[in-house]
Each structure stands twice: as structure tokens, then as C-alpha cells.
Chains A and B, each alone.
Chain A
Amino acid sequence: MKIVDLDVTSLRELNQMLHEQQDDVTTENWRIKNPQGRHAIAVGIDAPLNVEIDGNAGYYCAGMNKGANITINGSTGVGVAENMMSGRVHVKGNASQSAGATGCGGLLVIDGNASARCGISNRGTNIVVKGVVGHMSAFMAQAGTLVVLGDAGEALGDSIYEAKLFVRGAVKSLGADCIEKPLRDTHKEQLGALLKASGLGGEIDISEFKRYGSARQLYNFKIDNLGAYG
């Protein structure tokens, strides 16, 4: 286990050391001390590493992750795990805005709450939030999944494409072109697998969730609307 203290080692040195693992993994396990809300901790990893961050991180923590398993023993600022390609990011506290933005793959688990725009423009990441999510979550989400065990704020799934949304609590309002859809067996299976991967066992009753998705009325060009573009 390599221990890096950010009060001693610069952030740039840390990220450089993590990037050097890309072609040849010499140190699999990393522990990062004293994050103190610094931005861009453990970004751009492209290797199957285990990274633990002990404390609260700032913006864009674990961004652009490819293959690493990153755990934050604290809360994170804006854009945690943004643009993830693969791997797993686990936030044990709360996450600020735009958690899991624009990701293409991987799993993001947030034990606490996520604020506004969680999973904005998601392109394939599976996101599980055990608390609540703020307004405009899954805005323009194209693919992937957002699972919320608590409530969702205003305008959930506004202008959504083909992402799947599962919310157990109350949804304050649905955004444009986002509708409730039936929760079929195939969705229950998918949901069960995601909850299991997030460390949740059988204590969650999957039938309590509602599924939301695109009404598909907005994202294709309609010839009837041509006049609006004149």
C-alpha cells in the first residue's frame, strides 16, 4: 500500500504517480491522506488500482476514471467521477452538483445525498444514490442508469434520451419529455443487480421503485415544427 499525504506531496505529483501505473501496475493499492477539499484528486487514472481518499475532496474528484476502484471516505465537491469510462467510484458522504456527469461507463455509488444535476448528460454510467438527488438530475441523459433510494428534486430527467431512471421516493416534478414508465421484470432484475453491486442486500424492496424515462416526443426532429426554426 502506497500512502500519499497531500499536505506533503503535491497534487500534480500524486496524479502523475497514478498515471505512471497505466502501462505497468507496480502499486495496486493507494491511500490518500489530507485531501482538505483539494480539487482534481485522483483524476485520469487508466489502470486497475484501488484508491482510498481519507477525507473530503473538492471538485472533479476521480474524474475520467478508467478501471480504478476509488473510494472517498468523506464528501466530494462538484463533478465527482465525471466522465467515467469504467471502474467504480464510491462516495461515503455526500456529493455536490453534477456528480457522475457525462460518464460513459462504470459504477458511481453515493452513500449520502447528491445535489443538483446528478448524472447530467449521462452516456452510460450506472449511478446509485442512497440519499436524495437535487434538481435537474439526469438532465439530457442519453444512456446509463440513475437509481435514487430517496427523493428527487425538480425537473427530473429533463430532455432525457435513453437513460433509465429509478426513484424509490417522491419526485418533486418531471422535466420536459420525462414520463413514468412501467417497472417490468427485466428492469427489476437490472435494478436488483445494481443495488447488489452497490452493497445493498435484500433489505430493499425493489417494487417500491418507479421507473422514469423518455416519452421520445422531444428528441427527434418533427417536420411539424419546421416553422419554429424559420
Chain B
Amino acid sequence: MCGIIGLFLKSSDLEPKLGSLMTGMLGTMCERGPDSAGFAVYGRGDNGQVKLTLRADSAAFDFDKLGSDLSAAIGAPVSITRHDTHAVVAVPADLEIEARAAIAGQCDDVRIVSVGKRMEIYKEVGRPDAVADRFKLSDMTGSHGVAHTRMATESAVTTNGAHPFSTGRDQCLVHNGSLSNHNSLRRAMSGSGITFETDNDSEVAAGYLTWRMQQGDSLGEALTKSLNDLDGFYTFVVGTENGFGVLRDPIACKPAIMAETEKYVAFGSEYRALAGLPDIENAKVWEPEPGTVYFWER
């Protein structure tokens, strides 16, 4: 099954409430995916800095030590903001490669979940409302975000198998459905520099879009091409640094409903996810057409 929510704010006045609105939306989708949950939030970004979201196996992990070791290794100051098992590490953008190498070389207990100027990704196994609470999603702010509640089908219930998947800077994807040609696509992209962390089919869809955008496609063009290259059933919601996209396969087995007002565009697997949004009574509410690319940028 799985549940997806997404919220893209068209103007800045709701930005302080992004996390609390997403928390309400995510909570309604617990029944669609009780196994694990994750979310991506596009918050403030500083020019010249890149944010690495790290995930440790345990909340007891010593992120402060990692921060000081990392700072020494790359020879530059780093800032660390901790959220339960995750931490956001901001480093100078021109030292990203060195920082990643230093983190990968330091210990096996921590992984890089996402990289981006603005995007942070958090994911854990467990009931979605509990996951949102652990990371204090309700306190987070930003311009847009996506979240996913997973009922696992194609691969194991692990934190790595939780969505969103990110395969490129500030790019993420959540997926409801299952892809049947993910193994051949993974092989086809293996020489392109896209790396995959899991056997998950949805990660391949994320990698595909990253690969297309590396070839110069816009998000909309990449989504359009995926209609020919991805085989299976899917509803995707994707985020980029400034964009938000939605695509359903041509058969449209997987549910999707959207709402748009002057202030936001919202996505839900079910209307329940949208029912608590401000001014929903006056929103344009519609079901996205199958095989049709929708995207917004600001």
C-alpha cells in the first residue's frame, strides 16, 4: 500500500508552519504504511555551505566527536545540528567530497542519508507519527517537503529501505507502487556515476531522475522520459531544490489527490491527508491524471 504526502508552499508566509502541517498530514497516513516513515524538508540553505544529513544506528552515537574529527580532517569548521539518530552537518560546499570521504572512513555506524544545500532527510523504522515525533518534524520550517509511510513489498523493512530516496544533491523521491524493471535499470545506470545503497526499486526511480537531470533535463523532462523507461506501477512525488513534481503511471493504480490554493500545492494518497490544511474548503481539489507530469517551481 504505502502513503505519500507532499506540501509545496508558493509563498513564504506559511514557511514557519511547514513542519507542523506536514506532521498532521503524515499522521493520517499511518494506516497506509505502518512499517517505516521518512521525510525530506527543504529548509534554509546558506550559500557556500552544503548540508549532509547523517544517520547513526543508535541515538547514543557521539555526533560531537564526529564533528570535531571531521573538522580536523577537512581543515574547516563544521556545524552539527542533532535530531535523535540523525544529525545535519554543514560544511563548506567546496569541501563536500573531502567531508564525505572523511565520514565514510571514520566509522561504520553512521551513513550519509542526503546531501544538499537545502534538503534534509530523516527516516526510521516504526509508526510514522512516532517517527515524526522523534525528529520533531512539527518544529521544522521550509518551503516544501515530502513524506512517506511504507508498507514494504519489494525489499526488507529497514531504515535504508525507508523513503525518501536521494541519489543527487537536493533531490529526493517517494514512491507508492512497485517497479518491475528496476534491476535492469540499475545495471544500465551503473556506469553513469549514480550509486545505489539498497536493492530497493524506488531508489532506482530516484537514481533514474538524477541521471536524467545530470544529462541536462529539467525535472519535468526527466519525469516525462520516465514514462517510457520505468515499467511498473507508481505514484511518485519528487522534490528538487526549488521544485516539486508528481507523476502517476498510465494505469494509475495507486491513489493520488491534490489540492491547490494561492498559498500551496499539496499532495496526499488520500483526501484525509489534505483535510486539515488551511483553507482546504476553498482549494481546488483534483485527482492528477494518469501519465501526466505535474511540477511546480519557485
Contact = CB atoms under 8 A, between A and B. Distances in A.
Bound pair: A and B?
yes
Interface of A: 36-38, 56, 58-59, 75, 77-78, 94, 96-97, 115-116, 134-135
A77 B274 CA distance: 13
B32 to A, nearest CB: 11
With most chain A CB atoms within 10 A of its CB, the pick from B273, B275, B285, B287 is: B287
Contacts of B290: 116, 134-135
A37 B252 contact: no
Given A37-B271, A56-B285, 11 more contacts: A37-B274, A37-B275, A38-B272, A56-B271, A58-B272, A75-B285, A96-B255, A96-B257, A115-B252, A134-B252, A135-B252
Given A75-B285, A115-B287, A58 B252 contact: no
A36 B272 contact: yes
A47 to B, nearest CB: 28
B267 to A, nearest CB: 14
Contacts of B273: 37
B284 to A, nearest CB: 11
Contact of B255 (A56, A78, A135): A78
B31 to A, nearest CB: 9
Interface string B143-165: 00000000000000000000000
Nearest to A95: B287
Contacts of B286: 94
Interchain residue pairs A-B with the least CB separation, the first 9: A37-B271, A37-B272, A36-B275, A37-B275, A115-B287, A56-B271, A116-B252, A96-B287, A58-B272
A134 B255 CA distance: 14
Contact of A77 (B252, B270, B276): B270
A186 to B, nearest CB: 35
Label chain A's interface by main secondary structure.
Answer: loop
B271 A58 contact: yes
30 contacts: A36-B272, A36-B275, A37-B270, A37-B272, A37-B275, A38-B272, A56-B275, A56-B285, A58-B271, A59-B270, A75-B285, A77-B255, A77-B257, A78-B255, A94-B286, A94-B287, A96-B255, A96-B257, A96-B287, A97-B252, A97-B255, A97-B287, A115-B252, A115-B287, A116-B252, A116-B290, A134-B252, A134-B290, A135-B252, A135-B290
Interface residues of B, number: 14
A97 B285 CA distance: 15
Contacts of A135: 252, 290
A75 B276 CA distance: 16
Interface in B266-296: 270-276, 285-287, 290
A37 B276 CA distance: 10
B194 to A, nearest CB: 33
Contacts of B276: 36
A75 B284 CA distance: 12
Given A96-B287, A135-B290, A75 B271 contact: yes
Interface in B230-289: 252, 255, 257, 270-276, 285-287
Contacts of A94: 286-287
Contacts of B285: 56, 75
Contacts of B275: 36-37, 56
B5 to A, nearest CB: 13
A35 to B, nearest CB: 9
Contacts of B271: 37, 56, 58, 75, 77
Contacts of B272: 36-38, 58
Contacts of A115: 252, 287
A189 to B, nearest CB: 34
A77 B255 CA distance: 9
B23 to A, nearest CB: 17
A58 B270 contact: yes
With most chain B CB atoms within 10 A of its CB, the pick from A56, A58, A134 is: A56
Nearest to A96: B287
Contacts of A78: 255
Contacts of A77: 255, 257, 270-271
A55 to B, nearest CB: 8
